[in-house]
Amino acid sequence: MVEDGIRHGTRERGGGPMPRADGWGLAVDIGGAWVKAAYWDGRGGVGTLPVLPATVYRDLDGRLLTGPEAVRLARTAPERAETMPVRSLAEQDEALLGGEPTAPAEMVTALLARVLRDAGPGFGRSRPDALTVVVPSGWGGAERTALARAAGAAGLPEPDWLPAPLAVAAGWAAYREVPDGTVLAVCDAGATGLRCARVDLDRAAYEAGDEVACGGVDLDEALLALVEARARAAGPEAWERLLNSTGPEGLRARAQVREDITGVRETLSATVSAPLVVPGHGAELLLRRAEFEEAAQGPLSTAGAALRELLDAGPRPSAVLLTGGVARTPRLAELLAVDGRLPDLLPDPVNAAVLGAVRSRDAPEAPGGGEVPYSLPVDDDLFL
């Protein structure tokens, strides 16, 4: 239900926790650029799987490939790849991969099958007993039906649904004494945009605003424009050759620049400057955080406006939680401050939703503690 641009919802099984999970299970979040997954082992063990690129590639034999292989092959044959299948699923648009129409559910099936393949060795390659899928707050019945079919085709059980704001809030609250009446604001900054939601922990309900253009894609475009201006000033002919070169080498070079720009953006979250090598230019460019933030002022400013709009529509939150792959962008946290207090940045913002989904399962504790597959630690401090 949407009222005045605010979307309302509750968790799918009412206000209480999801059923206890006596076997092992998975929580999956298919984002714009990455697929995140976490597991519980039925003995108290919890952990995350390696983050999986969301790219799907159709090879010359007609098979759908995923993971690093798909990303590598897509550099020189982008017409055979879809980098954001979840967006196609939401829009119900077929994609042409290598000239062959490919349904969104087919691409998502390939991604979910890869998650199951990666998780399987730790559990004797058995099928999980339960599946929780974290979904965007704006998703309705059509998207969930398509995703449920994809999960079944991938060999996974029928999913339980958990909207992303509730998943993040559940993880935050798992290790705290939370007073009655606690209200949180959850700001999820992912690849395709940023969305803020107010979460009522007592009711396990949320109200979400519209997604704004402050995601990784938007910030990368701002950084690319800065790089182009600097590169043209240093050597316009070299930049034109990079843009217009044809064949595998040109495609690979442009794809590499795109990947490197994302890497520079992420590096600037931790340090004040980062180098970038542009093919055809003799000297590397040194990019500084301050000039990136100035170039990205447009998309960044939409984040603060989105949170203010949400706050004006209801009670003040006890805390603002910042999560998602773009969460560590320093200027973003400043723009999401409330009453002078910076948002709480969760220690693992990329996996925060799936970790929260796992904790919300109320999985039983193992007698004496269980051994966790993959040698991944049970980290009781993930949300502290």
pLDDT tens digits for 188-215?
999 999 999 999 999 999 999 999 999 9
pLDDT of 380 strictly over 80: no
Note the pLDDT of residue 375.
27
Enter the CATH code of domain 2-180+346-375: 3.30.420.40
pLDDT of 150 strictly over 90: yes
pLDDT of 2 strictly over 50: no
Q: Contact 172/182 with Cβ under 8 angstroms?
A: no
pLDDT by residue (tens digit) across 81-121?
999 988 777 676 788 999 999 998 999 999 999 999 999 88
The domain segmentation of the chain, as residue ranges, is 2-180+346-375
* Cβ count near 69 (within 10 Å): 13
pLDDT by residue (tens digit) across 13-66?
433 444 444 689 999 999 989 999 999 988 888 999 999 999 999 999 999 999
Q: ∠234-237-240 over CA atoms, to 5°?
A: 110
Tokens encoding 23: 């076997």
Instruction: Tell which wins on pLDDT, 8 or 72.
Output: 72
> Got the DSSP string for 10-64?
E-TT-SSPPPP-SS-EEEEEE-SSEEEEEEE-SSS-EEEPPPEE--EEE-TTSPE
Tell me the pLDDT of the chain averaged across its residues: 85
User: Of all residues in the chain, what percent carry a pLDDT higher than 90?
Assistant: 66
pLDDT of 292 strictly over 90: yes
Alpha helices in 236-296 (DSSP H): 236-244, 247-267, 289-295
Start-to-end CA distance of the chain, whole Å, equals 33
Question: Largest Cα–Cα distance of the chain, in whole Å?
Answer: 68
Convert 21-58 to b/e letters by CB count within 10 Å (16 or more is b): beebbbbbbbbbbbbbbbbbbbbbbbbbbeebbbbbbb
- In which band, very low, low, confident or very high, does the pLDDT at 362 lie, cut at 50, 70 and 90? low
Q: ∠167-322-169 over CA atoms, to 5°?
A: 25
Helix (H, G, I), strand (E, B) or coil at 78: helix
Note the pLDDT of residue 27.
97
Q: Contact 188/53 with Cβ under 8 angstroms?
A: no
pLDDT by residue (tens digit) across 340-354?
899 998 889 999 999
Tokens encoding 197: 């939601």
* Cβ count near 193 (within 10 Å): 24
Note the pLDDT of residue 8.
44
- Its pTM stands at 0.84
